[in-house]
Structure 1
Amino acid sequence: MSRRKLSRRQFVAATALSSAALVTAPYLRTAHAAGNLTMGFWDHWVPGANKASTDLVNEWAAREKVEVSIDYIPSQGNKNLLTIAAEAQAKSGHDIMAMPTWWPHAQAELLEPMNDVVEPLIKLNGEVNGTVKYLGRAGDKWLGVPSCVGSQIKGPCSRIDLMKKFANIDVQEMYPEGAPPKAENWTTDAFLKAAEACHKGGVPFGIGLGETSDSVDTAGAFFQAFGAEVVNADGNVVVKNDNVRQVLEYYKRLMAFLPPDVTAWDDASNNRWLVSGKGALIMNPPSAWAVAKRDAPQIAEQCWTHGFPVGPKGRFAPFLPYFWSVWSFSKNKQAAKSLLTHLSQPDSIAKMVAASGGYDLPAFENLTTLKTWAEEGPPKGTLFHYPNPYNHQKLSIAASPAPPKVAQQIYTQATLTKMCVRFYQGEAMEKTLTWAEGELEGFMRS
């Protein structure tokens, strides 16, 4: 963890302030306020991305004359999650914490309501997607402000050349630069046929079936494409249904065309698979493409990020949002809310997206067509469809619509991928479903 102490004196006086007015009233320095604000932000993997956040915080601090300090906390080794848990237990720590996916719900009782920040931002920036509401709100209480930093879609990243050569699919024609998708024929059946063709060509799809996030996210999107709920929104265990049986049969066929070691893959495995030139498609945000751009430019030039295949119940894509949350024990809640409003202005978001090379995704619908995604390359336009600019697919998260605290356990325990692997390895369908039923009932009791 690197601590970076920032002060007003470090702020460059010539920095231009945005002309856009803040949605909420600016922070007022009163006798009640401490005059200091601390934040624990996610330590971005993209070089330079942290600097954009720092500059924006400094800009706000100079105007409001607040002393601020930032800890950039890495997610490697779950250091960010350990920090969240430690501060929750101690009821002391940063004023603002960046919290991924499930963690606002996990700490809901200790978080300051953020309705007075989020609701005006929605009016300014457009509606947020359903997954942000599912993860960021408990009843009528907003648990955090949707953060573009760290938020991502894990969609297909395909090799243009290999998909053409072996699967006879032109991904650029299907998802054209600067235009709506033409993907009516991009179905789960077409996906399966393409996986088979690329496997025969010696460049299999790199889709993990391990127990880490990338594998679980992909399985979750396919389960939803088949309408395969394992726990419903009311919290009932419903895993023994025909839609679940159908998706397990689908995965059994798909796994025959994947690399033989995918059951042991972690979140770095699919990245390495693409960058090494061994595969024709992975499911990932643009991180693998960004690494290829640096280390294997001839591969990066052939990468195209696009939408998920559509299944019997629709087209879904995994969306993993981050939130900026304020602890209820924060000593400077008013200042925290003012800063988060500043960070959520369109100009601020555009700067952070640009600094991340298009990796970071705002949750607001009016901010899905920023110029960064149209201009990034090579090839130019490779990220145009990454932010889902035409609402072509429903952004979702694995294990939803189960109540979030139950869904978090399904997700963390990789129940969906374990079901797929057990059935693929020869376990009888009903035995797999009975095993899953027992697991899910245990999550309900815990």
Structure 2
Amino acid sequence: MAVSMRRRSFLGGLAVSGVIGAGHLDVFARAWAETAEWKPEPNASLSLLRWKRFVPSEDEAFMRLVDAFIKATGVRISVTNESYDDIQPKASVAANTGQGPDLVWGLYSFPALFPSKCLPVDDVAASLERKYGPWLPAAAAYGRIKGRWLAIPVAFTGSGINYRISSLKKAGFSSFPANTEEFLELCKGLKRNNTPAGMALGHATGDANSWLHWALWAHGGGLVDRNEKIVINSPETTKSLEYVKALYETFIPGTVSWNDSSNNKAFLAGDLHLTVNGVSIYATAKTDNPRIAEDMDHAPLPIGPAGKPTEFTLAFPILAYTYTKAPNACKAFMAFMMDAANYCPWLNDAQGYLVEPLSAYPANPVWAKDPKLGAIAGGVKRSLAAGGSAPVSERIAAALAEFIVVDMYAGYCTGREDVRGAMRMAERSAQRIFRNA
């Protein structure tokens, strides 16, 4: 009894403080395993597929967490990494063939692409909510599909405008513009000064989807309404297309072919002075180019004619497949990685690249120690989910995976389509997915 009481006291103290030293991680993991709600299957072995790191210290902290879980539970875990754009295709193949990783830590609404293949994790979600809840609205939208929790929303990337302070001032702005009209004027000024902006219009799963959905929603448009009726062919979409093309004309060349790492490279090379991204640019610059980091700041995406925030922040849900031979081990690992004593130090090492999906985690020092991260942290609370006004569903996930919205804007900006042609192209693509809605 005395040992049990000491263990509960130890765990409780860590949960309140939200911090744990690296030397105590193994001790905590052993104590956690003794009281865990899910007991891994004997001789369990798991394979985990996750997105490739953008902040090396995040990946290092995650692997320490994995190693502590292995030592405490005896569950063997192998971790492989793929680019953002390769996660969803590989996850789909595994779902359809019943072979592959036990766990996939991926992007956005991908669990909704194959809901019957996902191991329900209602119990894990409920346990986390009791401890740290409630779930933020966008997090719940990605994890709970048609009333069942099919994934645990591990984190969001704190996405926002990344910009050079000196370039903003040289363009005639003392503070970052709060509306879309002034934002366009800023980008025009940046181009005149040869310090251009640039956002991806290629198949960049994170970057292109995030800012182009923002632009569509900011003008009151949408691919579908709340009932999944296709509404992309509209005056609001027309205005957003014209606005994005005006922005595109100020961009650095080549953005139509950019992937999710292209803007990072251009910004750190000094060729790009404004983009939409997480804090990975800033985190890298602090180490590799302090001069750029000192001249950087972040801002929320501006408010458009819709009159309200329409940000679209990249989510990172983790799922387990129904074919796994160790469902309890999968659930135990999900719960372990989200325990505040693990999660908060990991988040701190992510340097602001990851943001909490639950509203009552212990206060994390990462948000207080650097004022340049404030806009990043707040974006998650404002973020819409993949469907905009529509609930996340298999159809919504398919539309996102097929880059329907991205391709519409790219077609118009490059001159391949006029406004009507770009909207019709998106409408036809949507009809293949939503035809039975």
Structure 1 position 165 matched with structure 2 position 170: yes
Residue matched to 2:204: 212
Residue matched to 2:4: none
Is there any run of 5+ residues in structure 2 with no aligned partner, and where?
Answer: 1-21
TM-score by length of 1: 0.82
Residue 229 of structure 1: which of 215, 222, 233 is its match?
222
The CA RMSD measured in Å over matched residues stands at 3.1
Question: What code does the residue aligned with 2:231 have?
Answer: V
C-alpha offsets along residues 84-129 of structure 1, whole Å, 9 cap, x if unaligned? Answer: 2343234244443323223211221011211111022123222333
Residue matched to 1:304: 297
Q: Return the offset for 1:369.
A: 4.8
Question: Counterparts in 2 of 1:281-296, with a 5 A limit?
Answer: 281-296=274-289
Q: Return the offset for 1:298.
A: 0.8
Residue matched to 1:351: 345
Residue matched to 2:96: 89
Question: What code does the residue aligned with 2:166 have?
Answer: D
Aligned counterparts of 1:359 and 1:14: Cα–Cα separation in 2: 22
Residue matched to 1:199: 191
- Does the Cα contact within 8 Å between 1:226 and 1:244 map onto a contact in 2? yes
Residue matched to 1:415: 404
Aligned counterparts of 1:24 and 1:401: Cα–Cα separation in 2: 39
Structure 1 position 404 matched with structure 2 position 404: no
Residue 239 of structure 1: which of 232, 237, 248 is its match?
232
- Does the Cα contact within 8 Å between 1:154 and 1:285 map onto a contact in 2? yes
Question: What code does the residue aligned with 1:53 have?
Answer: F
- Does the Cα contact within 8 Å between 2:84 and 2:107 map onto a contact in 1? no
Aligned counterparts of 2:31 and 2:226: Cα–Cα separation in 1: 40
Structure 1 position 432 matched with structure 2 position 422: yes
Structure 1 position 318 matched with structure 2 position 312: yes
Change (3 A) 1:95 1:412: closer
C-alpha offsets along residues 376-405 of structure 1, whole Å, 9 cap, x if unaligned? Answer: xxxx432233121794x3344476637533
Aligned counterparts of 1:105 and 1:348: Cα–Cα separation in 2: 28
Change (3 A) 1:269 1:28: closer
Change (3 A) 1:25 1:268: closer
Aligned counterparts of 1:136 and 1:245: Cα–Cα separation in 2: 32
Change (3 A) 1:308 1:111: same
Secondary structure of the corresponding residue to residue 374 of structure 2: coil
Change (3 A) 1:91 1:279: closer
Residue matched to 1:102: 109
Aligned counterparts of 1:48 and 1:411: Cα–Cα separation in 2: 29
Change (3 A) 1:61 1:12: farther
Change (3 A) 1:347 1:395: farther
- Does the Cα contact within 8 Å between 2:171 and 2:193 map onto a contact in 1? yes
Question: Counterparts in 2 of 1:247-262, with a 5 A limit?
Answer: 247-262=240-255
Change (3 A) 1:394 1:94: closer
- Does the Cα contact within 8 Å between 2:203 and 2:406 map onto a contact in 1? yes
Secondary structure of the corresponding residue to residue 157 of structure 1: strand
Structure with more relative contact order (C-alpha pairs < 8 Å, separation 6 or more) = 2
Structure 1 position 364 matched with structure 2 position 369: no
Residue 73 of structure 1: which of 78, 81, 101 is its match?
81
Residue 374 of structure 1: which of 354, 358, 368 is its match?
368
Q: Which has the higher helix share?
A: 2
Is there any run of 5+ residues in structure 1 with no aligned partner, and where?
Answer: 1-10, 172-184
Change (3 A) 1:416 1:388: same
Secondary structure of the corresponding residue to residue 189 of structure 1: helix
Q: Return the offset for 1:415.
A: 2.6
Secondary structure of the corresponding residue to residue 157 of structure 2: strand
- Does the Cα contact within 8 Å between 1:368 and 1:388 map onto a contact in 2? no
- Does the Cα contact within 8 Å between 1:287 and 1:359 map onto a contact in 2? yes
Aligned counterparts of 1:60 and 1:420: Cα–Cα separation in 2: 45
Question: What code does the residue aligned with 1:187 have?
Answer: N
C-alpha offsets along residues 349-399 of structure 1, whole Å, 9 cap, x if unaligned? Answer: 112112222212221123495212333xxxx432233121794x3344476
Question: What code does the residue aligned with 1:284 have?
Answer: N
Question: What code does the residue aligned with 1:72 have?
Answer: T
Change (3 A) 1:254 1:431: same
TM-score by length of 2: 0.84
